A and B are shown apart, each in its own frame.
Chain A
Amino acid sequence: GQKALGETTVILVRATAAGTETLKNLVLPGIGHILVVDDVKNFEGSRYSNFFSSEINDTAKSRAQVVMELLRELNPDVNGTFKHVHSLTNMDFTKLILEVKNPLVISADLEYPLLMQLSKVCAKNNVPMISVQAYGLIGSVRLQSPPVPIVEPKPDNSTPDLRLVTPFPKLAVFCEAVNLEALDDRQHGHVPYPVILYQFAQRWKKDHDRKLPSTFQEKQDFRAMIKKSARKVDLELNFIEAMNNSYLAYTERTVDRDNIQRLLHKASGKFEILLQALLIFLDSHDGAAPLHGSLPDMTASTQEYVQLQTLYRDQAIQDVKELLSNCYTHAGITEEDVGIFAQNVNTLDLIQVRSLEQEYECPPTAKIVEDLQSITWDPYEVTEHTPLLWYCGLRACHHFYSKVGRYPGTCEKSWGKDVELLQSSLVQVVNDLKLSETKLIQQTLLAPGNKFAKELARYGNAEIHTIASIVGGVASQEAVKLITSQYVPLNN
């Protein structure tokens, strides 16, 4: 993870507060390189809202330079360069992103035409881009990325992979070797529960035509069987653990081979190689997945626990080695990569992210319209707080910009007059999203003299630091997820 961070260059396009706050949170944990691109020479006005351009600039340095230097000061291990340009509109974005290794673009508070221009270049070149915007008291974070493989989601809870139903040979031998009846009371109370479950599963199979418990009644009976054989059921914690986890004796996680096949069709690069290798593994192991290898803590003697833990760990290592040898090429794939992949085979996924171009310039798909409409049937408790309304509002501001050449409410003396024009932008956006017939929209955004147009005009594209900081926090966190391929990123 740390290594991936160190190999990435983050390109910030426009050094507004939202952008610099995003960068700050990437510089602190050690991003490799920052490149600050900015088009503002005189930045007195943002002194009070941008922490990285707030010192008085005597030396006539550009904002790009000041920001880059102050960010680097947080962590001198980070490399930094800057580019001040007169105007971002004519910039060759393709050249910009292709000049660096492993780029990730942060676009900050870019006006609509520029944002579209940049996002198209990033999409075409498969460079991930996170767009941030701080707009008055609202803000937005939008990810645009080539398909994101989910390999290490780190879910909070997961069932242990004890493999008791189809044990690997060494596990079966270990479990069978324990003679429960012959143990003294102390030893009896310290047998690890997987062993207990294994033995009782075998006993059950003998009496039930080699089948494991499957009906509700059978599962109850199985538990009762375990309870009966405990010598002091209230004090033998291992038997209590066995009863609480009895389902592990007859259920085992399986990998959905069809899902893997489906992912394989869409995957590329390392992910594709690993998926292929997994299919080969599944086919040669009768559908059984590589062993996860970790053993949860449980009541047991130290010796038996460590022995059992070693068995699981060794088998998992063996499975990883086999998986690695299945890869048709080892280019860029380490044993560590395979190890992480193997432990997460049940949660593999590939997230497709729609581009900004698709969002803003193409009519929404039927599915999207359906999703948006269903949101309108279930608004927030305080209706006006429903995010969808503010999303439409922000898009209306972009629409206003593309028509008028500036944001609504930005001319001090005539700011109130923009409300009407903004309202017509709102109507347009709502129509484009096919939401104008929904009750929620009619009661809010389409109501005459509604609060939304007034509030959005009020904002006048204000740069409020706290909003910029929140947006910068979320964006940087998502950037880290993308760079380190851990957790599940926002879609989108």
Chain B
Amino acid sequence: MATECPSEGEPMDIDLPKRGSLLTLLSRPSPFASESGALPMGEFEPLSTMNNEENKLSEIEIFSSIKVLVVGAGGLGCEVLKDLAMSGISNVEVIDLDNIDVTNLNRQFLFRHKDIGASKSKVAAQFINKRCPWMKVVAHHGMIQDKPSSFYASFNCIISGLDNVEARRWLNATVCGLVQCDGDGDPDPSTIIPIIDGGTEGFSGQARVILPRITSCFECSLDAFPPQRNFPLCTIAETPRRPEHCIAYVSILLWPKEFPDRKLNTDSPEDMKWIYDKALERANKYNITGVTYMVTMGVVKNIIPAVASTNAIVAAACVNEAVKLLTFCSQTLNTYMMYMGSSWHSGVYSHTFVYERKEKCVVCASTTREMHIDEKKSLNQLIQELKDGDLRLKSPSITTGSGVTLYMQKPPALESATRPNLDKTLSSLISSGEELTVTDPILESISLTIVVTFQSNNLAPQAPLISLREKGNIAA
């Protein structure tokens, strides 16, 4: 017996069996609604429209006042847009800075051959709007950092399918920075915008729910993302053994020599071909086999081949969370789901757990950090520490608690004015126990307070460490 829908013309008063839809879920009460879960978002109120012929609402109308932002229009982004369309959420905006490349076509299914070179966000939006006429996707071509926080504040939910840690940190810091707290320090719920963050790598992926100031945020999990792979410099320069070493030699040492004014553009086929040709030359000289264009791309871009099915799974999990968050129709993910599609042990494996907040998270816990440092160290060394240590800042600027600017990365005039401070010792600039305010482009809207205390140390044991570092590793 068919469980598909009866044809349009049949009267609805005959209680014929019919396959349910999202509307069905939204109009029937549930013992597993949002308020019953560990992360209650609101109280579920079933729609009472299904029995009422005149007021037959569609999913579209239910979500008519909702606006969702999709960050990234690549492998995950395309899937997310489709899933949002299929969930009836019509007011969607999508942002991406990239253009379509031929290598995207085997999984970013909103793009075709004729679209190569065009803007991902624009083509994606066009495709969805055409296939699903109820959709009103608006495209933004550009960097997420170029949008003001008011832009992000205008959405009910943000779904992120970014492919790099730095952008995720920025987005996380910006959205967490939107939360206002009342006098008692409690966050005002109307300023909390959920971020649903998805990521994939080959057969593995994860989806997580971030409720700023309530659950753990992305910065809390920074330790789980190791910095990029390094090859020792001596191997690259003197004793290459593997194709990766040859490629690294060309991209790190040869390129700056050959093109001193130009940074390697990993998205330019001409640049990549140059790297590949030279790497092959070097490999042949050393009798090393295995340099292919693909391996070259992999090393230079640090990419792992993408799998369409993993993107489908993670994106759908994210949109599923979004729908539940916005309608309260079922329990919200608390808070992190990881997925492994190539588990040797059981074929497929998944695990869901609560990602705990990090006590001293610079973004979502407003605590002051302490740093103990030798007073004879220079300001530049302090800045280096902020970059290389576990804070992993990009280019920090520092002012003292009393408002004296120690070093500002921008604007250029201020930078050159404060540059002489870099070589001065810390003891000449600040006193022990002084509070410093640090800002950084990655955590744009968040400023850190660091209390610096001096401790006298023998410089000597440190010296070999520094020289080893200078001799040794450099990012691949």
Task: Say whether A466 contacts B347, CB under 8 Å.
Answer: no
CA distance A190 to B2 in the complex (A): 73
A45 contact from B19, B38, B88, B342, Cβ within 8 A: B19
Tell me the minimal C-beta distance from A417 to chain B in angstroms: 11
Select the stretch in A269-277, A360-368, A423-431, A454-462 that faces chain B.
A454-462
Q: Interface readout for A370-389 with B: 1 if CB under 8 Å, 0 if not?
A: 00000000000010110000
Within 8 A of B (CB), among A15-47: 17, 21, 24-25, 28-30, 39-40, 42-46
CA distance A222 to B446 in the complex (A): 55
Task: Say whether B309 contacts A454, CB under 8 Å.
Answer: no
Residues of A within 8 A of B345 (CB): 488
B307 contact from A39, A111, A409, A477, Cβ within 8 A: A477
Select the stretch in B23-31, B95-103, B148-156, B250-258 that faces chain A.
B23-31
Task: Say whether A490 contacts B86, CB under 8 Å.
Answer: no
Name B242's closest neighbour in chain A (CB-CB): A297
Name A411's closest neighbour in chain B (CB-CB): B15
CA distance A361 to B30 in the complex (A): 32
CA distance A462 to B59 in the complex (A): 14
CA distance A489 to B348 in the complex (A): 7
Within 8 A of B (CB), among A437-492: 451, 454-455, 458-470, 472-474, 476-478, 480-481, 487-491
CA distance A392 to B343 in the complex (A): 25
Tell me the minimal C-beta distance from B50 to chain A in angstroms: 6
Say yes or no: is B330 at the interface (Cβ < 8 Å to chain A).
yes
Task: Say whether A477 contacts B309, CB under 8 Å.
Answer: yes
Task: Say whether A460 contacts B20, CB under 8 Å.
Answer: yes
Name A309's closest neighbour in chain B (CB-CB): B241
Task: Say whether A51 contacts B19, CB under 8 Å.
Answer: no
Residues of A within 8 A of B17 (CB): 406-407, 410-411
Residues of A within 8 A of B311 (CB): 473
Residues of B within 8 A of A314 (CB): none
Given contacts A40-B4, A46-B5, contact A460 B22 (CB under 8 A): no
Tell me the minimal C-beta distance from B333 to chain A in angstroms: 11
B32 contact from A40, A42, A43, A384, Cβ within 8 A: A384
CA distance A481 to B31 in the complex (A): 38
Task: Say whether A382 contacts B82, CB under 8 Å.
Answer: no
Residues of A within 8 A of B15 (CB): 411-414
Given contacts A409-B20, A478-B348, contact A470 B25 (CB under 8 A): no
Say yes or no: is A184 at the interface (Cβ < 8 Å to chain B).
no
Tell me the minimal C-beta distance from A44 to chain B in angstroms: 6
Residues of B within 8 A of A111 (CB): 1, 3
Contact-residue size bin, chain B (C-beta under 8 Å from the other chain): 35 or more
Q: What total count of A-B pairs have CB within 8 Å?
A: 223
Residues of A within 8 A of B347 (CB): 478, 481, 487-491
A467 contact from B79, B316, B348, Cβ within 8 A: B316
Residues of B within 8 A of A451 (CB): 31-32
Say yes or no: is B47 at the interface (Cβ < 8 Å to chain A).
no
Say yes or no: is A332 at the interface (Cβ < 8 Å to chain B).
no
Residues of A within 8 A of B48 (CB): none
Task: Say whether A470 contacts B8, CB under 8 Å.
Answer: no
CA distance A421 to B85 in the complex (A): 35
Say yes or no: is A305 at the interface (Cβ < 8 Å to chain B).
yes
Say yes or no: is A415 at the interface (Cβ < 8 Å to chain B).
yes
Given contacts A154-B344, A300-B241, contact A462 B309 (CB under 8 A): no
Tell me the minimal C-beta distance from B91 to chain A in angstroms: 16
Residues of A within 8 A of B22 (CB): 48-49, 462, 464-465
Tell me the minimal C-beta distance from B32 to chain A in angstroms: 6
Task: Say whether B344 contacts A155, CB under 8 Å.
Answer: yes
**Most B-side CB within 10 Å, residue of A25, A458, A460, A490:** A458
Say yes or no: is A137 at the interface (Cβ < 8 Å to chain B).
yes
Say yes or no: is B114 at the interface (Cβ < 8 Å to chain A).
no
CA distance A411 to B18 in the complex (A): 6
Task: Say whether B320 contacts A470, CB under 8 Å.
Answer: yes
Task: Say whether A405 contacts B1, CB under 8 Å.
Answer: yes
Tell me the minimal C-beta distance from B400 to chain A in angstroms: 41
Contact-residue size bin, chain A (C-beta under 8 Å from the other chain): 35 or more
Task: Say whether A488 contacts B87, CB under 8 Å.
Answer: no
Residues of B within 8 A of A183 (CB): none
A412 contact from B18, B29, B287, Cβ within 8 A: B18
Residues of A within 8 A of B287 (CB): 306
Name B312's closest neighbour in chain A (CB-CB): A473
B24 contact from A298, A299, A460, A477, Cβ within 8 A: A460
Task: Say whether B88 contacts A406, CB under 8 Å.
Answer: no
Task: Say whether A411 contacts B32, CB under 8 Å.
Answer: no
Tell me the minimal C-beta distance from A256 to chain B in angstroms: 17
Tell me the minimal C-beta distance from A479 to chain B in angstroms: 9
Residues of A within 8 A of B31 (CB): 451, 454-455
Task: Say whether B308 contacts A190, CB under 8 Å.
Answer: no
Say yes or no: is A318 at the interface (Cβ < 8 Å to chain B).
no
**Most B-side CB within 10 Å, residue of A297, A409, A412:** A412
Within 8 A of A (CB), among B68-89: 79, 82-83, 85-88
Task: Say whether A458 contacts B29, CB under 8 Å.
Answer: yes
Within 8 A of B (CB), among A42-61: 42-46, 48-51, 54-56
Task: Say whether B25 contacts A412, CB under 8 Å.
Answer: no
Residues of B within 8 A of A385 (CB): 352
CA distance A252 to B325 in the complex (A): 54
CA distance A155 to B242 in the complex (A): 22
Task: Say whether A465 contacts B341, CB under 8 Å.
Answer: no
Residues of A within 8 A of B309 (CB): 25, 472-474, 476-477, 480
CA distance A476 to B241 in the complex (A): 38
**Most B-side CB within 10 Å, residue of A405, A455, A466:** A466
Tell me the minimal C-beta distance from A260 to chain B in angstroms: 19
Say yes or no: is B55 at the interface (Cβ < 8 Å to chain A).
no
Say yes or no: is A80 at the interface (Cβ < 8 Å to chain B).
no
Task: Say whether B132 contacts A54, CB under 8 Å.
Answer: yes
Task: Say whether B3 contacts A410, CB under 8 Å.
Answer: yes
CA distance A385 to B32 in the complex (A): 10
Say yes or no: is B268 at the interface (Cβ < 8 Å to chain A).
no
Residues of A within 8 A of B310 (CB): 473, 477
Say yes or no: is B293 at the interface (Cβ < 8 Å to chain A).
no
Task: Say whether B25 contacts A459, CB under 8 Å.
Answer: yes
Say yes or no: is A136 at the interface (Cβ < 8 Å to chain B).
yes
Say yes or no: is B280 at the interface (Cβ < 8 Å to chain A).
no
A466 contact from B8, B16, B288, B316, Cβ within 8 A: B316
Say yes or no: is A302 at the interface (Cβ < 8 Å to chain B).
yes
A410 contact from B20, B317, B330, Cβ within 8 A: B20
A469 contact from B21, B58, B79, B132, Cβ within 8 A: B79
Task: Say whether B241 contacts A473, CB under 8 Å.
Answer: no
B85 contact from A45, A46, A51, A473, Cβ within 8 A: A51
Say yes or no: is B383 at the interface (Cβ < 8 Å to chain A).
no
Residues of A within 8 A of B373 (CB): none
Residues of B within 8 A of A45 (CB): 4-5, 18-19, 21
Residues of B within 8 A of A410 (CB): 3, 17-20
Say yes or no: is A74 at the interface (Cβ < 8 Å to chain B).
yes
Residues of A within 8 A of B8 (CB): 42, 44
Say yes or no: is A6 at the interface (Cβ < 8 Å to chain B).
no
Say yes or no: is A153 at the interface (Cβ < 8 Å to chain B).
yes
Given contacts A297-B242, A413-B51, contact A466 B317 (CB under 8 A): yes
Task: Say whether B315 contacts A469, CB under 8 Å.
Answer: yes
10 contacts between A and B (CB under 8 A): A46-B4, A50-B86, A54-B131, A305-B239, A410-B20, A411-B16, A451-B32, A465-B87, A469-B312, A470-B313
Residue numbers of B with Cβ under 8 A of A are 1-5, 7-8, 12, 15-22, 24-25, 28-32, 38, 50-51, 58-59, 79, 82-83, 85-88, 106-107, 109, 131-133, 203, 235, 239-242, 286-288, 307-313, 315-317, 319-320, 323, 330, 341-348, 352
| Among all A-B residue pairs, the 6 with the closest Cβ atoms | A45-B5, A462-B20, A460-B20, A465-B86, A469-B316, A473-B312
Known: A50-B86, A465-B316. 16 other contacts (CB 8 A): A28-B107, A29-B106, A42-B5, A49-B21, A190-B239, A302-B239, A406-B3, A451-B31, A460-B18, A461-B3, A462-B19, A466-B86, A466-B319, A473-B309, A473-B313, A487-B344
